[in-house]
Structure 1
């Protein structure tokens, strides 16, 4: 299902009628129908060039001229999936099925979008519909069975999680650490009695650059110890940047380890004099996520009061199962370590307040008015992200240029306008917010009259987007953001998504 439909719409429910299955009444002239087909073909060409934004523009124009062609909705749904606008993709796939319940591609599109959001039960229903329509389709059968395995596993994990007497993995591992053997042929960095040192971190970075592994004992030790630090922190962490001192904010790095190292080349290694905040989505998609997260957590242990990390929407179990981190951890270490990562992710803070004037979070603002900083502080975060509420919005929401709020293009969280940002800042005596979560051509974007800043630090995202990465530097006596953009650097020949769930091959 890797290409948009390129036919002329024959066989789709379509054409010059007053109303089709609830889609607004409109008589389509022959000229409009012909022009719509031309726009669809133009959109298909942009899609093939991976210019999904332009393809969406032309599919939309085609739909406006003739909303009764199933393929237009199905194709735009696929383009929305490519741009991670899963909410819009769901809507378009459903519109296509309103027009034609036999349009198989729309079931695939809807299943893909639901899987991307971790809604595997809904995806399974659509895969089941495809297998019934095409019982001899081997791909359909494979997708159905793979999705069914995930649903059954989730049900099993939910059943055993109600056991209040089950020890956390971190406790079990800590009890076993002393007995873990370091093999004689291991030549990587070691954690001594003094704990994490700067020399250890430099050696760790060099080890990872050479595509070698940190011994599992030390990897486990980092996870166990960093979990304790995060458990001691609130959901909203206060940061003070002294006058004259710099502070750096980075956005998503998504497993792009060599680009992470480039940030440190450009801006210096973390230290007490060079503090950092990494604003979520450290893992998934990029195939060096283990290296990224262990490096970041190592610096957290080395500089606990000068290195900060916010939770992103990809620091969650369902995202990790789909987008590669779960598979990568199991390939490089163990299933048990994958469980431990989930435990630690659950304790990551949700946001940071810098000098009482800048609020930083991964996603954005809220579906409801009058949310306060105290409400964020009181939010219970030791859980998988919910589908609504403060925690959900902090991880998933996005800004929009128009006033007010609208349904999320992603299908989770909301989209909030400049008036929402202004009111939130006024109510909480803040100057601006910093968030991440979205690819930007220059690696950053300033919106909402300068009050909503996006920073994204993974250049050439997934080796396909061609965007720059960026980071922000502020100073304690001048909170004006200074931006540095940079290009991607070479990395070893391991493709993004190398460890992702096989179901994502349909995207």
Structure 2
């Protein structure tokens, strides 16, 4: 379910609670009026897609008048847009505690639960809304969409057998797939992926044409074997004077991926790259992005690296559309399960998609031992590597996303000292300039999907370092404008 389809924030006239509550009467009229003004300012920021500012002003409205369900409901919606699913759930619950009949709070709570993969819980809320508003087409569509996912999960569980360790890849007979005479797209040369094949593939996708499924299957089957041979933590050595590039989230934004290669050069043995997760979902060209990246991995297995992100999972793919782009969903899932979880560069820089850990005694050896060949769990080291976020205050806390951990500058400092590292690089969060340096320069975020979801207005960025100078250099870039 795309949250763009959800009802807009409540406007004027929708903010009064629909239950008897005398506590609001204790608030002076002038203060209630000021709260409404804060809400209207927040709504304007929301319309301009400045969700952080919207959250700030919804919060001010709540502080002035904490007994209005719509204030919490609107802030919940803004938290959904910033992917703070845990905070969205909290605000939806507060709204419903004030007014059990406040329909939009059920939408918010259901959307947050869907984003966290809790489809059966979300289904109950969508069902309630559909019953209350039987003529609401949007409510009915969301209910049916969620029900479809729940039924699919139940079906997959029902047909599971003890022999479920068998790989989907083993059942694919590539040789039986024939290539039609009128196919004019890229073809393997000398039985495999070459640089010319990848260049042809990139242009084919740029022209919004397709790769024949025989070649797509072959790429996936070969790259699966490559990732099978890699550990959960991959060590990378960058020689002195050589450049190394780290990219963050791509999210199916294929034309922006091509722009990175225009700005920074194609991957090669002399121009190595690390893509730090979330290659798919949200954008319209997930399959195109992932196949091009996989091909570069096959071309340069020791100079092109890919880490798993939280969106390389079955739940995220069901939510945000990647699964629907390809009939190869099960094979993609098997490959995603094999992607390394983190990389260590020159024994000094640890790179992961999400962040650090609630446990303050984690070592690199602990990360090497993670059994990653599975769907991400809801807690533990693997979960935190994929989902955690930094916070400005010291210590750890519950994640704003509802999964993972918030970690402060003291946590980062201790982790680096314990493991003799200089700094960490992570992705996972939209940043206005495409990057952000926090925790006294020891925690760097890089995000490479500009104008995320075609709404955020942010720049993308990538990081370059030299083997003998690990000081990060940042390049920001705007989204590609297409006709």
Classify the TM-score, shorter chain. over 0.9
Mapped pair 1:267 → 2:264 = yes
**Residues 15, 66 of structure 1: 8 Å contact kept:** no
Query: Are 2:228 and 1:222 equivalent residues in the alignment?
Result: no
How far apart in 2 are the matches of 1:387 and 1:184? 48
Q: Matches of 2:201 and 2:367 in 1, distance apart?
A: 35
Answer yes or no: is 1:469 the counterpart of 2:453.
no
Given that 2:17 and 2:67 are in contact with CA atoms closer than 8 Å, whether structure 1 keeps it comes out as no
Q: Per-residue CA shift, 1:251-289, capped at 9, x if unaligned?
A: 001111111111111111111111000000001111111
1:438-457 alignment, distance < 5 Å: 438-457=429-448
Give CA deviations for 1:355-394 in whole Å, capped at 9, x if unaligned. 1110000001112211111111111111111111111101
Residue 193 of structure 1, aligned match among 165, 190, 202: 190
Report the TM-score, using the length of structure 1 for normalisation: 0.91
SS at match of 2:147: helix
Q: Give the whole-Å Cα distance in 2 for the aligned partners of 1:443 and 1:7.
A: 35
Measured after TM superposition, the shift of residue 319 of structure 1 is 0.7
Query: Which of 352, 365, 368 is matched with 1:361 structurally?
Result: 352
For 2:7, which of 2, 5, 23 is the aligned residue? 2
Q: Judge conservation of contact 2:18–2:101 (CA < 8 Å) in 1.
A: no
The 10-residue stretch of structure 1 (38-47 or 125-134) with the greater mean CA deviation from structure 2: 125-134
Q: Normalising by structure 2, what TM-score?
A: 0.96
Give 5+ residue unaligned stretches, structure 1.
19-25, 330-334, 493-507
Residue 2 (structure 1) shift:
2.1
Gapped regions of structure 2 (runs ≥ 5): 1-5
Alpha-carbon distance in structure 2 between the residues aligned to 1:157 and 1:192: 38
Give the superposed CA RMSD. 1.6
Structure 2 partner of 1:436: 427
Matching residue of 1:499:
none
Task: Give the CA deviation at 1:55.
Answer: 1.2
- The correspondence for 1:17, drawn from 6, 18, 23, is 23
- 1:284 paired with 2:281, answer yes
Residue aligning to 1:340 = 331
Q: 1:83 maps to which residue?
A: 82
- Match of 1:17, SS state, is helix
- Pairing partner for 1:203 from 193, 200, 204: 200
Q: Is the 8 A contact 1:313 1:396 kept in 2?
A: yes
Contact 2:16–2:70 under 8 Å retained in 1 = no
Q: Indicate the residue corresponding to 1:44 in structure 2.
A: 43
On the 8 A contact 1:13/1:68 being kept in 2, the answer is no
Alpha-carbon distance between aligned partners in 1 of 2:239 and 2:129, rounded to the nearest angstrom: 60
**Residues 461-470 or 228-237, more deviating:** 461-470
CA distance in 1 between counterparts of 2:282 and 2:22 reads 44
- Whole-Å separation in 2 of the counterparts to 1:161 and 1:406: 37
Instruction: Return 449-458 or 26-35, whichever deviates more.
Output: 26-35
User: How far apart are residue 441 of structure 1 and its match?
Assistant: 0.9
Change (3 A) 1:361 1:30: same
**1:224 Cα deviation from its structure 2 partner:** 0.3
Q: Does 1:148 align with 2:153?
A: no
> Is 2:244–2:466's contact at 8 Å kept on the other side of the alignment?
yes
Deviation at 1:138, TM superposition (A): 4.1
State whether residues 7 and 104 of structure 2, in contact with CA within 8 Å, keep that contact through their aligned partners in structure 1.
no
Equivalent residue, structure 1, for 2:371: 380
In the alignment, what sits opposite 2:3? none
Q: Which whole-Å CA distance do the structure 2 matches of 1:382 and 1:166 have between them?
A: 11
Query: After the TM superposition, which segments of 4 or more aligned residues of structure 1 sit over 6 Å from their partners?
Result: none
Q: What displacement does 1:89 show?
A: 0.5
Aligned residue for 1:349? 340
Quote how far apart the aligned CAs of 1:27 are: 4.5
Partner of 1:22: none
Aligned length: 477
Structure 2 CA distance for partners of 1:64 and 1:223, relative to 1, 3 Å: same
2:398 counterpart of 1:407: yes
1:164 counterpart SS class: coil
